[in-house]
Structures are given as structure tokens and as C-alpha cells.
Amino acid sequence: MIPYGRQDITEEDIRHVVDVLKSDFLTQGPAIKALEQKFAAYVGSKYAVAVSSATAGLHLACMSLGLKDGDVFWTVPNSFVASANCGLYCGGTVDFVDIDPETLNMSITALSEKLIHAEKEGRLPKIVIPVHFSGRSCDMDAIYSLAEKYGFSVIEDAAHSIGASYNGKKTGACEYSDIAVFSMHPVKIITTGEGGIITTNSPDIYEKLLRLRTHGITKSPSLMTKEPDGAWYFEQLSLGYNYRMTDIQAALGVSQMDRLDDYISKRRNLVIRYNEKLRNLPLTLPSLKDLNDSSWHLYVVRLKLDEINIPHKRVFELLRDAGIGVNLHYIPIHLHPYFRELGFSRGDFPETEHYYGEAITLPLYPKLSDKDHEYICETIKGILQ
Ligand SMILES: *Cc1c(COP(=O)(O)O)cnc(C)c1O
């Protein structure tokens, strides 16, 4: 089966990891700092904090912005469940903003309208979490203007968009947000096995993230409530977690970052070829408007169902049967049983639901061979023509 995404591990990566295994520190050592510094320098943020996953990172991001019981937060339904779960962990109340069918990102029109209603009802969100779907940045300028007008904080779920850009800056520079959170799961752009990285420009948020990553503990006397009892002393100031990344993982991340730009250009070239080869089929292909800015985590096509007489589900099955590991990003979050129990139902977010009935994610990763790429395109042609 050709997977829809997969990691690329080189001898150089292995050497970096083995070096850590032979060193004194497997966790809380120098590799974490090295990854954080390299990442912050790359995206252009003041701070970066490595954590055990993007899910952990999103949870800490919500905590560091003070989300608590009863506070409202919004994200999009066309995302992985982690985009919503992170605020629920804090006792927050989730709601969703529908997507724009062109970009598949949070619709600015839907957001603006929802904010007007929410203001009237006194239910404005404390945090909004836009997701840069497939690596294409949301309209952050517009979201930030609304954040200033209505007083909410912004966390970018940048799980798909390591290496993406917006308005001439890398995603994660946090010019239009408080915090950005990236994933280093193996299907994402670069990997640490499991892992996430948080960026921010706020020293206050940074301090909180560092503490919350390790149980809410501080070892710095300036933050303590009293003089240290002795050299062993530390204080727990709030309730935190063990969300640390290991140095073994961080070393892999440091090594992978050297190939990040190369990975993205390989993805981009595959996208261009997909669009060329599939252009005469009854498919809506991704727009190449943001060709050079997107990190191209996913290549998603939409079936023009009124032009073919074969159901979405069947096309998907035929591709899987042909050994092509297509996927579907995403099952709308609000339609999962857990979220239905919170009160959501079919019809709540029509653009997302409509999209879900037509979308198929095709394989896309730097080492996807020309032969496999050709085979995928020919198989789709065979099914749809
Ligand atoms: C992968 C993903 C996450 C979670 O990332 P992990 O590192 O696996 O926790 C969150 N949001 C989105 C949009 C993702 O695709």
C-alpha cells in the first residue's frame, strides 16, 4: 500500500539520535534547547517550547492563556479532534466556525457573523483556534483584526504548516497570534516520532509554558514564594503536566530541520504534477494560489459528484483496493459521538459537511516515487473516466 504520508529518515538522522543515546542526557538535556533555538530562529519567533505532542502543546497553549471552566473557545469542524479537545481539557466550552470552501480554512465571513451574534448573547469566545488546513495559512490578518475588536486570544493550530509562510513571514512568527503549535508526528512535515513545538513572542506565556510542561514546577528563585530551603529546593506553583519531549526525539528534529525546505519544495513539485495530470477529470483540485507559501502537508481533491455516476465511498474503496492509501481529512469534529453528546448535530456546519462528502486525500510525501505518482494518477483516471 502506498501510504498517504510517511517520514523520511536518513543515516544522518540516525547518527544524531545515536549520539544522544551515548550521551549523559536522554531527557532535559542540550538537544531540547538546540531544537527550540533552531526552530525559533527558523520561524522568526522569540521563543519555542518543545513538548511531547502537538495535542499537549495545544492544551498548554489554552492553559497559558487562562482558559478555564465555562470559558468559550472556537475552532473549525474540519480538523483533527485535538483542535477541540485541547480546550475541553481545561473545562472550556467548544463551538465551531464553518470553513471557506475555497481554502478549506476558517471562513472569515462565518467568523465575523458568529462574533456579532455571540456579542449580543454575551457569549464571546476567550480563544479562537484557526487551523492552517493542509499547510495553507488562514487569513491571519483578518482574524487578528477581529481578535482586537472582540478581545479574544488566537492560537494557531499549525500542525500542518511547519515551513509555511504568510505575508512574507513564516507561520509561527506569531505576528497575528498569541501562540502557534506545530506537530512532529511522522505523517507531518518533519518528525520526532511523537512531538510538538510551541512558539510565542510573549515572555509571560513562555514562562508559563515552561512551567506547565513540567508539573507547574519552578527552580528559579525569582519566581518562588519564599527563600529556597536549600540547593535541592523547587516549588510547584500551579497544576501542570509531564509533557516533556525526550532529547532522543529532539535530536531527530534538529537533524530533520536541515531538510525542511527541501522537503517542502519536493512536496510542491509533486502538487504541481498532480494538478497537471488530474486537471481534465471531474475533480476540484487544490488552488495553486498559495503554491509557494503552503507547506503542502496534504493534497486533497474533491469529487464533482454530479459529473460522475459512482459514489464517493466507492471511489475511495477502489483506490484502496488498488493499493493506494488514500485518506479523508477530516471527519467533521462535531459529528463524532462525543461531540454530538455535547449538542452538535448534522446540518450545523454545512460547508464542512458538504466537503466531507466529496473529499479524498491522495498520497503526498517527499519520497513518493515518480512511478508511484504516475500509478496513482493513472488509477484515478481509470476510475473516473
Ligand atoms: C496532527 C494534528 C494534531 C495533533 O498532533 P499530535 O502531534 O499528533 O498531537 C493537531 N491538530 C491537527 C490539525 C493535526 O493535524
Q: Are residues 190 and 282 in the same domain?
A: no
59, 79, 80: residue to mutate for ligand 1 pocket, most atoms within 8 A of CB = 80
Same domain, 180 and 58: yes
Q: Name the domain boundary from 237, 257, 277.
A: 257
- Please give the average per-residue pLDDT across 147-163, as a whole number: 98
Boundary (domain end) residue, out of 257, 279, 295: 257
Cα distances (Å, whole numbers) of residue 33 to 16, 81, 179 = 15, 29, 19
* Distance (Å) from CA 375 to ligand 1 centroid: 29
pTM exceeding the 0.85 threshold for the entire prediction: yes
- Which of 257, 278, 305 terminates a domain? The answer is 257
Q: Which of these, 314, 328, 383, 333, lies nearest to 356 by C-alpha position?
A: 328
**Residue 5 placed within a domain:** no
Expressed in angstroms and rounded, the spacing between residue 82 Cα and the centre of ligand 1 is 6
Provide the mean pLDDT of the chain.
97
The residue whose CB lies within 8 Å of the most ligand 1 atoms, and thus the one to mutate among 185, 189, 297, 329, is: 185
The mean pLDDT of 369-385, rounded to a whole number, is 97
Percent of the chain with pLDDT over 70: 100
CA of 185 to the centre of ligand 1 (A): 7
Longest dimension (CA), the chain: 76
Query: Measured from the CA of 188, which atom of ligand 1 is nearest?
Result: 1
Q: What would the pLDDT profile of 47-76 be if each residue is shown by its tens digit? A: 999 999 999 999 999 999 999 999 999 999
Location of C-alpha cell 520526532? 192
Q: Are residues 102 and 201 in the same domain?
A: yes
Asked if residue 294 and residue 209 are part of one domain, the reply reads no
Residue 342, pLDDT > 90, answer yes
Which atom of ligand 1 is found nearest the CA of 82? 10
Residue 6: inside a domain: no
The mean per-residue pLDDT over the stretch 304-324 comes to 97
266 plus 253 within the same structural domain: no
Q: Are residues 251 and 264 located together in one domain of the fold?
A: no
Q: How many separate domains does the chain show?
A: 2
If asked whether residues 181 and 313 sit together in one domain, one would say: no
pLDDT tens for each residue of 204-259: 999 999 999 999 999 999 999 999 999 999 999 999 999 999 999 999 999 999 99
For residue 199, tell me if it sits in a domain.
yes
2, part of any domain? no
Q: For residue 1, is it within any domain?
A: no
Q: What is the CATH number of the domain that holds 304?
A: 3.90.1150.10
Let me know whether 26 and 170 are in one domain. yes
Atom 2 of ligand 1: nearest residue by CA position = 159
At 234, which CATH number? Answer: 3.40.640.10
- Domain residue limits at 134: 11-257
Q: Do 271 and 251 share a structural domain?
A: no
Residue 176: DSSP 8-state: S
Same domain? 138 vs 110: yes
Per-residue pLDDT tens digits for 282-301: 999 999 999 999 999 999 99
Q: State residue 332's pLDDT score.
A: 98
Q: In this structure, are 372 and 265 located in the same domain? A: yes
In a domain, 4, yes or no: no
pLDDT by residue (tens digit) across 77-104?
999 999 999 999 999 999 999 999 999 9
pLDDT more than 90, % of the chain: 100
191 pLDDT tier (thresholds 50, 70, 90) = very high
Residue 110 pLDDT > 90: yes
**pLDDT given at position 385:** 87
Instruction: Give me ligand 1 centre to Cα 183, in Å.
Output: 6
One domain, residues 88 and 158: yes
pLDDT at 37 over 90: yes
